[in-house]
Amino acid sequence: MAKKKQTEVEEFSVEQKLQALFTLQQIDSQIDKIKIIRGELPLEVQDLEDEIAGLETRAANFEEEVAKLNETITARQTAIKESEEMIRKYKEQQMKVRNNREFDSLTKELDYQTLEIQLSEKKIKDARFQIENLETEIAETKERLKERQIDLDAKKAELTDIVQDTENEEKELVNQSLENEKYIEDRLLTAYKRIRGNARNGLAVVQIERDACGGCFNKIPPQHQLDIRMHKKIIVCDYCGRILVDKDVADTVHEKFRS
């Protein structure tokens, strides 16, 4: 059955084959446009999601640093109390010393504990200064996070609307594309898909415009243009390999789309 169908397709005239190819190109180009419109938004959504994840990690890291600094402050405050207690004990012991050597030894301990208190106070001051800066960073990061979340919600809503608006149109076009492929013989369809896959803009069948290829814009020799207008055989561009059609074929197809 498939072989019989293929034989029937091969019996179409070259002009009919060119019209079928150009029609398929128009349909596939419309599908491409829908995918491009939809394709940019998911990337924007993904970028925003990645940025938000990065901001959340940044804020979490800052908050973790603040927690550690608060632990440092608590530890240093405890150390100050311990040093103050030691100072109180050493002073009491100084009142009971029996000689200068014991007095000097206790004085050194008092000096050491005093230095420890000064060091802890400095560490506490430094930690509080860092916390202040980090809290500013956290506030700014969370504000930025809030803004990007609003942007993300808007992009997601936009993407949902576009998908809903274009989903049915794309399905219809895909069905049209598959239906149109039935009128093109296998070797031409294979060539069409191969050229389309290699072309950056997805154009495998193009119209001659101003004596040039509508794909690569290189000039088409007059004899080639005459052969293309004759519709005796399928002719491709010598430069880019795209299938070429003349104005008559293109106008026929465009008129069909308008009707």
SS3 212: strand
Query: How many Å apart are CA 66 and CA 60, to the nearest integer?
Result: 10
The better pLDDT of the pair 117, 1 is held by 117
> Which of 1.20.1250.20, 2.30.30.220, 3.40.50.280, 1.10.287.1490 would CATH assign to domain 39-167?
1.10.287.1490
| pLDDT at 6 > cutoff 60 | no
Average pLDDT over residues 162-175: 79
pLDDT tens, 113-155?
999 999 999 999 999 999 999 999 999 999 999 999 999 999 9
CB burial class (10 A; 0-12, 13-18, 19+) of residue 203?
A: buried
Instruction: Look at residue 4 in the predicted model and tell me its pLDDT.
Output: 35
Residue 5: pLDDT over 80? no
Residue ranges of domains in the chain: 39-167
Residues 6+ apart with CB under 8 A from 252: 19
Give pLDDT tens digits for 198-231: 888 899 999 999 999 999 999 999 998 999 999 9
3-class DSSP assignment, residue 89: helix
Judge whether residue 28 has pLDDT over 60: yes
Beta bridge partners of 182: none
Letter for the amino acid at 250?
Answer: A
**146 Cβ partners below 8 Å, 6+ apart?**
none
